[in-house]
A and B are shown apart, each in its own frame.
Chain A
């Protein structure tokens, strides 16, 4: 993106961006780093997406066609791990870097050099993860959740992946420190907490979740590492350890982690919907409290992933009720989005299409979550394709589609050019339709009993799997269009002007598009 070169030419400020590769390697500028995060996550999105294409190719027909089961397991495991830690999380941090300073009227992030580090750790971890495919024994194959005792039996790739996840965790924690400090300390005069745009609020709360649970993940995988290599027995039953304890520690991190991936997406959607409904967000205060209570509740529901581990009935009931409780604040949010649309003068540009699809499809994912929260039902559905359907509705049509909507919404600001609206709409419809073709049948497969993470299946599942695979290929291909649109927009297009969306009222739209390399050098006064 040629954001900075323009500014450098104009010499509007003391200094612009250095040129060449050093600009990116040494950058401490929140916009550069945001851009790096976004490109990195887009690359990882395509890598993990390619793994998904291979998974769907194998599942196109019953029988073993392309891969041996061991390789298939590597594909599912690495698809999940990379999508979560390499694609969704970094892209949301990319949004945070670009948008938070612009939205609160700060000149940059609080710790610019720390920021540079948080980004440049990522490629190292990415290379390690990808490299595991080429080491003896192959990549991780026991599922992204890394359960022992299976995890104990893998080769060198397992230790490499622990290292990679450690690095990713450190990067997230540093990013979270930066985000919290920026938001709490660097708001423009007059920007009180309750005047902050909702995107900023969601990221503030997400950053606190990161600070609270990433260290717990670090503990869990450190224990795996020492069990594997240094003779400890945390999870080794032969030595008085307990493999189920890993699940408790992992999911104590894992459930807040799923909210880490969805809360900023809530923030993006809560920004887009009012802009295109041309109405202020309905129930701003209740939105803030809803996000905070979701974050709080996310700490006390973890064992809904473990209903089948032989938990006592009391425990099952407790986790069932707390899980169902989460539906209340989530319902508040969905209600407020719909109420924002109510009687708005709505237009349907690409970002809005993604946002509306988000509300609708995320709600479906929330409902299947409620179904899974019912203990007797979950005992049937645990580890079936129903769970796969559930988390793709919340993660793909939830997080990923909100991210795409956010990209379309802010691309004009970031690049100074309008993206191709016609192609954007084509991309939206292809994605929304293909997504449903791919994942809706998985509900039926799961209800009929097809287990997840298997390369071959019984004949009665053949039709739905074929439909699902065809949808999957279309979904994958459609994302190439997304890549094309983004590149095209970065390279040129109609000038966007300061405020291409007439309903948008946050601070970034008071800046030029693209914003100067150093924006808000003197803070704005917010009334």
Chain B
């Protein structure tokens, strides 16, 4: 590459026009970043990606009502799925939680119950809310909770211990590849997240 100085100045291109375009791109990507939130929610709703279980994942899109869960048509005795249970208590909630049933081997379509023991270590009455999550995420849409302590807030008196039941069915439609499902509960203090826990309950 060779160079020689010449007197004709470089053609003047408008910096301002380019600047405006670049600012538009920046504004767009900023908007896109926030748009990822509803996009992600919509995607999870459709695919069950994030492991939220039926009660939450299948709320209707755009105001449609929750689809009525069809009763399981059959029990698939040809295979066995293991369901593992875990429970954690989030910071700010002085409770203990442990699954009394840590693992169940079952045929898809069977009705089962699992128990969880929670106790209040503090000297106050506290209201907590459990939030479930299913791994792998795709199993969530086939994990039907018929009755669950997470459908409502739980109140524990000082020092009280309670055994909480979960009744569920793993639907036979579940993918053949899924042999183990983990159901994890996280208990939250409702004072920290009042409005929302309420929202969840109404779901």
Q: Which residue numbers of A lie inside 8 Å of B, CB to CB?
A: 105-106, 110-111, 149, 153, 173, 176-177, 180-181, 184-189, 195, 211-220, 223, 233-234, 236-240, 242, 244-245, 248-249, 252, 310-313, 315, 505-507, 510, 522-527
Q: Which residue of B lies closest to A510 (CB)?
A: B3
Q: Which residue of A lies closest to B23 (CB)?
A: A177
Contact with A along B177-188 (1 / 0, CB 8 A): 100000000101
Say whether B10 contacts A189, CB under 8 Å.
Answer: yes
Determine if A219 and B19 form an interchain contact, defined as CB atoms under 8 angstroms apart: no
- A312 near B26 with CB under 8 A, answer no
Instruction: Give Cα A176–Cα B177 distance, bound, in whole angstroms.
Output: 47
Q: Flag if A239 contacts B13 (CB, 8 Å).
A: no
B36's contact among A177, A233, A252, A525, by CB below 8 Å, is which?
A: A252
Task: Mark B87-100 against chain A: 1 for CB-CB distance below 8 A, else 0.
Answer: 00011000000000
B122 sits at the interface (CB 8 A): no
Interface residues of B (CB under 8 A from A): 1-11, 13-15, 18-19, 22-23, 25-27, 29-30, 32-34, 36-37, 40-41, 44, 47, 49-51, 56, 90-91, 129, 131, 133, 135-138, 177, 186, 188, 192-193, 195-197, 199-200
Q: Which residues of A contact B36 (CB under 8 A)?
A: 216, 219, 245, 248-249, 252
Q: Is B199 within 8 A of A525, CB to CB?
A: no
| Shortest CB distance A493–B (Å) | 27
Interface majority SS (helix, strand, loop, mixed), chain A: helix
Q: How far, in Å, is B17 (CB) from chain A's closest CB?
A: 9
* Interchain nearest-CB distance for A315 vs B (Å): 8
Residues of chain A within 8 A of B91, CB atoms compared? 153
**Which chain B residues lie closer than 8 Å to A312 at the CB level?**
47, 49, 136-138
- With A180-B22, A242-B50, A313-B177 already in contact, the answer to whether A506 and B37 are too (CB < 8 A) is no
Find out whether the CB atom of B40 lies under 8 angstroms from the CB atom of A310: no
A-B interface, 4 closest residue pairs, ranked by CB to CB distance from nearest: A219-B33, A239-B196, A238-B188, A524-B3
Nearest residue (CB) in B for A236 is B193
A215, B29: Cβ atoms closer than 8 Å: yes
Q: Considering the chains assembled together, what is the distance between the CA atoms of A176 and B41 in angstroms?
A: 32
Asked if A245 and B22 sit within 8 Å, CB to CB, the answer is no
A-B contact count (CB 8 A): 146
A-B contact pairs, 8 of them (CB 8 A): A149-B90, A177-B23, A195-B1, A212-B29, A214-B29, A523-B5, A523-B9, A527-B1
Task: Say whether, besides A212-B25, A215-B33, A218-B33, A189 and B6 are in contact (CB < 8 Å).
Answer: yes
User: In whole angstroms, how far apart are the Cα atoms of A111 and B14 in the complex?
Assistant: 12
Q: Are B40 and A248 in contact (CB under 8 A)?
A: yes
Beyond A312-B47, A522-B5, whether A239 also contacts B26 by CB under 8 A is no
Q: By the criterion CB–CB under 8 Å, are A211 and B1 in contact?
A: no
Q: Which residues of B contact A111 (CB under 8 A)?
A: 15, 19
Which of B11, B186, B196 neighbours the largest number of chain A CB atoms within 10 Å of its CB?
Answer: B196
Given A185-B18, A240-B199, answer yes or no on A215-B26 (Cβ-Cβ < 8 Å): yes
For B1, give its contact among A187, A223, A506 (CB under 8 Å). Answer: A506
Q: Once bound together, how far apart are the Cα atoms of A220 and B33, in whole Å?
A: 7
Pick from B6, B13, B188: contact of A525, CB under 8 Å? B6
Check if B15 sits within 8 Å of A238, measured CB to CB: no
Q: Known interface pairs A153-B91, A248-B36. Does A522 touch B7 (Cβ–Cβ under 8 Å)? A: yes
Q: What chain B residues lie within 8 Å of A215 (beta carbons)?
A: 26-27, 29-30, 32-33
- In the bound complex, do residue B137 and residue A181 qualify as a contact, i.e. CB atoms below 8 Å apart? no
Q: Is B1's CB under 8 angstroms from A526's CB?
A: yes
User: Cα distance A189–B5 when bound, in Å?
Assistant: 10
Question: Are A181 and B6 in contact (CB-based, < 8 A)?
Answer: no
A173-B26, A177-B22, A181-B18 known; A525 vs B196 contact (CB < 8 Å): no
* Min CB–CB distance A254 → chain B (angstroms): 13
Contact of A237 among B26, B32, B131 (CB under 8 A): B131
Chain B's nearest CB lies how many Å from the CB of A41?
A: 24
In the bound complex, residues from chain A placing their C-beta under 8 Å from that of B37 are: 223, 234, 245
Closest chain B residue, CB of each to CB of A185: B13
Provide the residues of chain B in CB contact with A311, threshold 8 Å: 49, 136-137
Report A234 CB to chain B, min CB distance, Å: 6
- Least CB distance from A121 to B in Å reads 16
Q: Across the interface, name the chain B residue whose C-beta is closest to A315.
A: B49
Q: Are A211 and B26 in contact (CB under 8 A)?
A: yes
In the complex, chain A residues whose CB is within 8 Å of the CB of B129: 238
Give Cα distance in the complex from A189 to B11, angstroms. 8
Query: Which B residues are in CB contact (< 8 Å) with A313?
Result: 177
Assembly CA distance A240 to B41 (angstroms): 10
Residues of A within 8 A of B133 (CB): 237
Q: In the complex, are the beta carbons of A219 and B137 less than 8 A apart?
A: no
What is the distance, in angstroms, from B75's C-beta to the closest C-beta of chain A? 25
Asked if B30 and A219 make an inter-chain contact with CB atoms under 8 angstroms apart, the answer reads yes
B5 touches A245 (CB 8 A): no
Given contacts A188-B3, A507-B3, 4 further A-B contacts (CB under 8 A): A176-B22, A215-B30, A239-B199, A526-B1
Chain A residues lying within 8 Å of B8, measured Cβ to Cβ, are 189
B4 and A524 within 8 A (CB): yes
Which residues does chain A contribute within 8 Å of B188, judged by CB atoms?
A: 237-238
CA distance A245 to B133 in the complex (A): 14
| Given known contacts A216-B29, A219-B34, A525-B5, A239 and B10 CB-to-CB distance under 8 angstroms | no
Question: Is the Cβ of B29 less than 8 Å from the Cβ of A211?
Answer: yes
Q: Distance (Å) between the CB of A235 and the closest chain B CB?
A: 10
A524 touches B6 (CB 8 A): yes
B178 to chain A, nearest CB (A): 10
